[in-house]
């Protein structure tokens, strides 16, 4: 498997912690460079703290992509999408993940730790990391997301 991304930023709250550990094992096995911004246990933690850190690093181009995990995936996704150069997508199956990359050029994958099985989550991670943005008619739409053109 060849990742399209050189460096991946990871983050989760307590509800996403165990799934994040599985994602880390998968990334190590695939020899993909990553940095874990926390949390580092399943003790209660506030998802915005980790989502802001990952999103800021992706927004500032310090990392090519990010993966965020919380209980529903919604909190980290809402937080990450506050950044102008972030296109975070909440995905719970491979098809949504594939379309988020193909059509929306998503650069942060958000997973619902309490609502997705590990096997499906890892398939989403692989799809996210290996699917290219389709460009073409989608390019103008993606630029409009960040108000680059209006």
Q: Which of 14, 61, 70, 110 is catalytic?
A: 70
Q: Say which DSSP state 64 is in.
A: S
Active site residue 103: yes
3-state secondary structure of 44: coil
Q: Which of 77, 85, 103, 138 is catalytic?
A: 103
The alpha carbon of 117 is separated from its chain's Cα centroid by a whole number of angstroms, namely 16
- The first and second tokens of residue 51, run together, are 């989502």
Paired strand residues for 111: 69
Beta strands in 52-99, from DSSP E residues, in sequence order: 65-70, 88-90
Closest listed residue to residue 134, CA positions, set 102, 93, 95, 86 = 102
Is 70 a known active-site residue? yes
Catalytic residue positions? 70, 103
């Amino acid at each position: 498997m060849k990742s399209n991304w050189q460096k991946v930023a990871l983050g989760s709250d307590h509800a996403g912690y165990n799934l994040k550990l599985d994602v880390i094992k998968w990334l190590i096995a695939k020899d993909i460079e990553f940095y874990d911004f926390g949390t580092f246990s399943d003790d209660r933690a506030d998802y915005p703290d980790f989502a802001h850190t990952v999103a800021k690093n992706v927004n500032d181009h310090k990392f090519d992509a990010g993966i965020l995990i919380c209980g529903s995936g919604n909190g980290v996704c809402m937080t990450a999408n506050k950044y102008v150069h972030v296109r975070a997508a909440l995905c719970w199956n491979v098809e949504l993940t594939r379309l988020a990359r193909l059509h929306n050029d998503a650069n942060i994958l958000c997973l619902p730790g309490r609502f997705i099985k590990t096997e499906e989550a890892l398939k989403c991670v692989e799809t996210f990391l290996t699917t290219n943005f389709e460009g073409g008619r989608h390019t103008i739409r993606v630029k409009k997301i960040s108000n680059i053109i209006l």
